[in-house]
Amino acid sequence: MFKIKKQLFIGVDFGTAVTKIYLQEAGIVEEIPTVIALNRRTRGVLAIGEEAKKMIGRNPMNIDVVRPVLKGVVVHFDEALIFLESILDRLKREYLSLLGVKLIIGIPLDLTEVQKKGVIDVGLGSGAKEVYLIEEPIAAALGANLDIEEAKGILIVDIGGGTTDIALISLGGVVLGKSIRIGGDTFNEAIINYLKSKFGLLIGEGQAEEAKIKIGSIVNNRGEHFLVKGRDILTGLPKELHFTSQHLRESIAEHLEEISGVLKDIVNLAPPDLLSDISQYGVYLAGGGSLIHGLNNFLEREIRLKINLIDDPRYAVVRGLGKVLEDINHYRKYLINV
Ligand SMILES: Nc1ncnc2c1ncn2[C@@H]1O[C@H](COP(=O)(O)OP(=O)(O)OP(=O)(O)O)[C@@H](O)[C@H]1O
Ligand SMILES: [Mg+2]
């Protein structure tokens, strides 16, 4: 049975790792890995989301597994379009909309006009009648229930899958911002490289992510370990290792230092009044990459500012998109014109 809606007003957080979807008056309705598997020859779609993600590193020659968003930016337009279209089709099967689909899509800071236009085209190509863009840090701050309209500095850090976006917001705008190409997926790569160079053990991306999430902490957690299984690079034979929080800490230390270095730069550049706000209220941490236990304390020690963890940090951006589309008249001013 169809549910009838005047229009489908949808928020799309096109993440490097996971796409999250908010539907007006329904909330967050989808969370799907941004991965698509295609037949190499015919380009026919074989799998989307979780099923396609499982194929990474396991695909035969005739299957292409594509991640349409790289480091926060849509790079494979055709695949991004098919991906979004399939999500919208699913929603259209559930809801009959009289006026069609309207989208608000989150974009990282510093996109070029061409890149913004590309995102709009993906939205329109996937079947939407209207497409609006909004900067992700603004959405993340709204999703964290912060009052971005006050004359008060808010420093928000979104450690996603492919990027870490750092933005200083005041009076509804981004005063200073920087996006660096480090995120949870970079941590996975770091784990792979660490095990290879330190133990001569070769593991795949899936194992690395599982180890990271299962251990989930850079603080010593009483001998807890996760058994990673891979191959000995010298003998080519199977090899196992008990992966621990210490391994995780050593693997990603360099990246955490880089994040804290950029945070320090932003803090150094902050106008004095905003800096005093940050000192008083601290920094807000969003994004799935921030779910590693102890990461906040590490940053706190490095930058000597309080770090606040946002609830359900992976959904901060999409919750913000939801807030905007539920009260579009109020929040229209934050939408970007292309
Ligand atoms: N419990 C967890 N512990 C550690 N890392 C996690 C956990 N859950 C998810 N992650 C990591 O969070 C990342 C995804 O986070 P998020 O959904 O915020 O990214 P994204 O929005 O897809 O990426 P981006 O914003 O960079 O485009 C992945 O790298 C994933 O491995
Ligand atoms: Mg994100």
- φ/ψ of residue 89, rounded to 5: -60, -40
Whether 18 and 117 share a structural domain: yes
Q: Which ligand 1 atom is at minimum distance from the Cα of 213? A: 3
Ligand 1 mutation pick, 21, 56, 212, max ligand atoms within 8 A of CB? 212
For residue 1, name the pLDDT band (cuts at 50, 70, 90). Answer: low
Domains in the chain: how many in total?
2
Using a 6 Å cutoff on CB, does residue 185 contact ligand 1?
A: yes
The tens digit of pLDDT for each residue in 279-314 reads 999 999 999 999 999 999 999 999 999 999 999 999
Answer yes or no: is the C-beta of 97 below 6 A from any ligand 1 atom. no
Residues 123 and 40 in one domain: yes
Is the domain of 243 the same as that of 286?
Answer: yes
Q: Are residues 11 and 31 in the same domain?
A: yes
pLDDT-based confidence at residue 4 (cuts at 50, 70, 90): confident
Q: What is the 3-state secondary structure (H, E, C) of 263-286?
A: HHHHHHHCCHHHHHHHHHHCEEEE
Task: For residue 286, give the ligand 1 atom closest to its CA.
Answer: 18
96 with 135, same domain: the answer is yes
Which residues make Cβ contacts (< 8 Å) with residue 201, sequence separation at least 6?
Answer: 195, 228, 230, 231, 232, 233, 239, 241
Is 322 close to ligand 1, i.e. is its CB under 6 Å away? no
Ligand 1 contact, 162 CB (< 6 A): yes
Residues 304, 166: one domain? yes
Task: Give per-residue pLDDT as tens, 50-82.
Answer: 999 999 988 888 999 999 999 889 999 999 999
Name the residue at shortest CA distance from atom 21 of ligand 1.
15
**Amino acid (one-letter) located at 61:** M
Is residue 320 within 6 Å of ligand 1 at its C-beta?
no
- Measured in Å, residue 174 CA sits from the centre of ligand 1 at 23
pLDDT of residue 208: 97
- Kindly report, residue by residue over 160-207, the tens digit of the pLDDT: 999 999 999 999 999 999 999 999 999 999 999 999 999 999 999 999
Do 207 and 155 lie in one domain? The reply is yes
Name the H helices within 126-239.
136-143, 184-199, 205-215
Q: Are residues 286 and 167 in the same domain?
A: yes
- Kindly give the distance from the C-alpha atom of residue 106 to the centroid of ligand 2, in angstroms, as a whole number: 9
Tokens found for residue 165 = 């976006």
CATH of the domain at 159: 3.30.420.40
79, 134: one domain: yes
Residue 305 near residue 277 (C-beta atoms within 8 A): no
Same domain flag for 324 and 279: no
SS3 per-residue string spanning 171-196? CCEEEEEEEECCCHHHHHHHHHHHHH
User: Do 274 and 329 have their domain in common?
Assistant: no
Atom of ligand 1 nearest to the CA of 136: 25
Give me the domain span that covers residue 257. Answer: 148-310
Which ligand does the CA of 71 lie closest to? 1
Whether 117 contacts 76, CB under 8 Å: no
Tell me, using a 6 A CB cutoff, whether residue 16 lines ligand 1. yes
pLDDT above 80 for 32: yes
Between the ranges 91-95, 271-275, 334-338, where is the mean pLDDT highest? 271-275
The rounded Å distance from CA 293 to ligand 1 centre is 14
Q: Are residues 206 and 80 in the same domain?
A: no
- How many angstroms does the Cα of residue 231 sit away from the middle of ligand 1? 26
- Banded pLDDT at 97 (limits 50, 70, 90): confident
Q: Which ligand is nearest to the CA of 164?
A: 1
Q: Is 143 in the pocket of ligand 1 (CB under 6 A)?
A: no
